[in-house]
């Protein structure tokens, strides 16, 4: 006849099994953080927002035509490490940035953040407010920097980007990460 586990041992076994499941699921979730899944999530959550490729923005900025208004939708600590040349920082929670008050509703605007979620949210909000030429930089500053395109601190070209935090910073090439991640 098989031995029955005592209730204490059974509880301990269940706790260990639960803990193991949490560890495995956590590891799987961390491994699922890829550019493909991030971009898919952004496109799913903001289907009406045009996603502009980093190559297309780079070409447009180099073309000599009037550049779009670049809105950096990151915290000040992120922006102060580096940003795109000419970008204006707006607070991620500011759904009506004052920098836009004097702009025509048909002014070309490109939003970006670390990977594109916060900036897509702002782009969507601006569309709701009647701005007609708003797009989000797909992959945002992480993808821009990963491709070796220039980022700036003031007018100086720099090599590093704020990684936002350890989890999201994994999408940024290690040599491009500043040493200032949030926990």
Its sign, for the CA torsion 5, 9, 10, 13, is negative
Cα–Cα dist 116/120, whole Å: 6
Please choose, from the candidates 133, 146, 119, 130, the residue with its C-alpha nearest in 3D space to the C-alpha of residue 58: 146
Q: Catalytic amino acids? A: 113
Residues 84 and 153: their CA atoms lie apart, in Å, by: 9
DSSP state of 83: B
Asked if residues 151 and 178 have their Cβ atoms less than 8 Å apart, the reply is: no
Residues 6 or more apart whose Cβ sits within 8 Å of residue 62: none
**And the tokens for 155?**
């007018």
Cα gap 69→67, rounded to integer Å = 7
CA distance 106 to 127: 10
């Amino acid at each position: 006849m098989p031995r029955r586990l005592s209730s204490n041992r059974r509880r301990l076994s269940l706790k260990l099994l639960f803990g193991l499941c949490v560890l495995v699921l956590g590891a799987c979730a961390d491994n699922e953080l890829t550019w493909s899944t991030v971009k898919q999530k952004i496109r799913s959550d903001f289907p009406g927002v045009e996603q502009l490729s980093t190559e297309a923005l780079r070409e447009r900025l180099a073309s000599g035509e009037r550049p779009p208004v670049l809105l950096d939708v990151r915290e000040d600590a992120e922006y102060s490490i580096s940003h795109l040349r000419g970008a204006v920082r707006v607070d991620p929670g500011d759904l009506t940035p004052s920098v836009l008050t004097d702009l025509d509703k048909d002014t070309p605007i490109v939003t970006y953040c670390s990977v594109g979620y916060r900036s897509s949210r702002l782009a969507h909000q601006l569309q709701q407010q009647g701005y007609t030429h708003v797009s989000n930089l797909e992959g945002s500053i992480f993808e821009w920097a990963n491709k070796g395109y220039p980022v700036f601190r003031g007018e100086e070209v720099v090599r590093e980007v704020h990684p936002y935090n350890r989890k999201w910073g994994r999408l940024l090439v290690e040599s491009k990460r500043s040493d200032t991640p949030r926990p």
